[in-house]
Amino acid sequence: MESMAVSTSLPNTDEDFDRNVPRICGVCGDKATGFHFNAMTCEGCKGFFRRSMKRKAVFTCPFNGNCTITKDNRRHCQACRLKRCTSIGMMKEFILTDEEVQRKKDMIMKRKEEEAVRESMKPKLTEEQQHIIDVLLEAHHKTYDSSYSDFNSFRPPVRQDCQGTNPSKAPSVDSLSSSSFASHLTHSDLPDSNVGFVNLLTVPDQASSESSPESLGNSSFSMLPHLADLVSYSIQKVIGFAKMIPGFRELSTEDQIALLKSSAIEIIMLRSNESFNQDDMSWTCGSDDFKYSVNDVSQAGHNMELLEPLVKFQIGLKKLNLHEEEHVLLMAICLLSPDRPGVQDTAQVEGLQDHLSNILQAYIRCKHPPPGGRLLYAKMIQKLADLRSLSEEHSKQYRSLSIQPEHTMKLTPLVMEVFGNEIS
């Protein structure tokens, strides 16, 4: 076999070496370049060892056989230099033949090619898809103020100690449902989250009692003005967000209104997830004043038929750990549902929704790998189905709330316009 030795500096030898340790040639003390034939050496000693092995050279020391090899004198005595090579562990077995070198080069090339193929196969978002995601993110940032400072302009929250003061006078089903619309609306944005477990527990009892709505008194709906303002505010923000969704403004005004009317509460519930706090099951919007428990929401007239599934929904949504990109896409997809009542040009709405759901699926493929992204799209679509039943229950409760003038007068014109005014 041709002993044509070719030196190799293994590409991975660098990793074997602590970068902070000085690299000194074990033969001559010069600056080393890595491991060569099993020892840390400089390029000069590497070449010397390889050539010597290739030639099967036999050297004789002109001195007394124990020369000290340095960077400057390493050429003076080949015998002692080679002896030094062997003594620090350099081995001719580590010298590759031409064939081996070629095979190694081929392997490196092949690995690079495979890497390039893998890179090109990686799913990527198109520029257009990325652009739409950027537009939606910006739309959300412009319409969701996470400082919640605007809440100070709402009618102030009034909380009553229902449990202690009048347990028997718990809000009746009727009264709860009637006032619940407004509170639901508000809840979904941020206050909804206030539905604490304590409330959940107490409210069902109250609801089961047959007390008349009047027995609740105004106190039962003490949170209604504040939460109605919150919902009203949120509706405005949802409208602002919708207008920035690419394609939304190209829809007829009638269809824009139909979509907004039926999805507003659902979008509010979705966006309120940002403030939902799983630790205490509340929607936490800044200060304690604006920290809403289930109990608070029930004091705006909503009952557990809505609040319990709503809290479950918030927890489930939180657990998906959505990226903000996915969160905004989900809101836009929810808004552009072609099957909403009153939509005329369903094909156009469907086209927009399909486009957005394709972007969402592409985003998950590219940016949200398993385990987090596993079945994520399906789970998100399930959340849209959950929202439909929440919306239905909200509607029911709002309707019973809004048939009572003393409650409707606490709402806002926008809330009544969007959710309907049963009185008029």
The least distance separating Zn ion from the CB of residue 82, rounded to whole angstroms, comes to: 10
Residue 22 or 371: the one with the smaller Cβ distance to Zn ion is: 22
The least distance separating Zn ion from the CB of residue 40, rounded to whole angstroms, comes to: 10
Residue 47 or 167: the one with the smaller Cβ distance to Zn ion is: 47
The least distance separating Zn ion from the CB of residue 101, rounded to whole angstroms, comes to: 22
The least distance separating Zn ion from the CB of residue 8, rounded to whole angstroms, comes to: 17
Residue 64 or 424: the one with the smaller Cβ distance to Zn ion is: 64
Residue 44 or 420: the one with the smaller Cβ distance to Zn ion is: 44
The least distance separating Zn ion from the CB of residue 32, rounded to whole angstroms, comes to: 7
Nearest to 420 by CA among 251, 264, 303: 264
Residue 61 or 135: the one with the smaller Cβ distance to Zn ion is: 61
Residue 72 or 138: the one with the smaller Cβ distance to Zn ion is: 72
SS3 readout for the chain = CCCCCECCECCCHHHHCCCCCCCECCCCCCECCEEECCEEECHHHHHHHHHHHHHCCCCCCCCCCCCCCCCCCCCCCHHHHHHHHHHCCCCHHHCECHHHHHHHHHHHHHHHHHHHHHHHHCCCCCHHHHHHHHHHHHHHHHHCCCCCHHHHHCCCCCCCCHHHHCCCCCCCHHHHHHHHHHHHHHHHHCHHHECCHHHHHHHHHHHHCCCCHHHHCHHHHCCHHHHHHHHHHHHHHHHHHHHCCCCHHHCCHHHHHHHHHHHHHHHHHHHHHHCEECCCCEEECCCHHHEECHHHHHCCCCCHHHHHHHHHHHHHHHHCCCCHHHHHHHHHHHHCCCCCCCCCCHHHHHHHHHHHHHHHHHHHHHHCCCCCCCCHHHHHHHHHHHHHHHHHHHHHHHHHHHCCHHHHCCCCHHHHHHHCCCCC
Residue 44 or 240: the one with the smaller Cβ distance to Zn ion is: 44
List of residues 6+ apart from 272 with CB closer than 8 A: 187, 188, 189, 190, 191, 192, 193, 234, 283, 314
The least distance separating Zn ion from the CB of residue 16, rounded to whole angstroms, comes to: 19
The least distance separating Zn ion from the CB of residue 30, rounded to whole angstroms, comes to: 5
Residue 80 or 190: the one with the smaller Cβ distance to Zn ion is: 80
* Binding-site ranges for Zn ion (CB under 5 A): 25, 27-28, 30, 42, 45, 61, 63, 67, 77, 80
Residue 320, Cβ density class (10 Å: 0-12 exposed, 13-18 middle, ≥19 buried): middle
The least distance separating Zn ion from the CB of residue 90, rounded to whole angstroms, comes to: 11
The least distance separating Zn ion from the CB of residue 92, rounded to whole angstroms, comes to: 17
The least distance separating Zn ion from the CB of residue 370, rounded to whole angstroms, comes to: 50
Residue 65 or 123: the one with the smaller Cβ distance to Zn ion is: 65
Nearest to 383 by CA among 319, 331, 313, 293: 313
Residue 28 or 356: the one with the smaller Cβ distance to Zn ion is: 28
The least distance separating Zn ion from the CB of residue 61, rounded to whole angstroms, comes to: 3
Nearest to 227 by CA among 303, 151, 146: 151
Residue 86 or 212: the one with the smaller Cβ distance to Zn ion is: 86
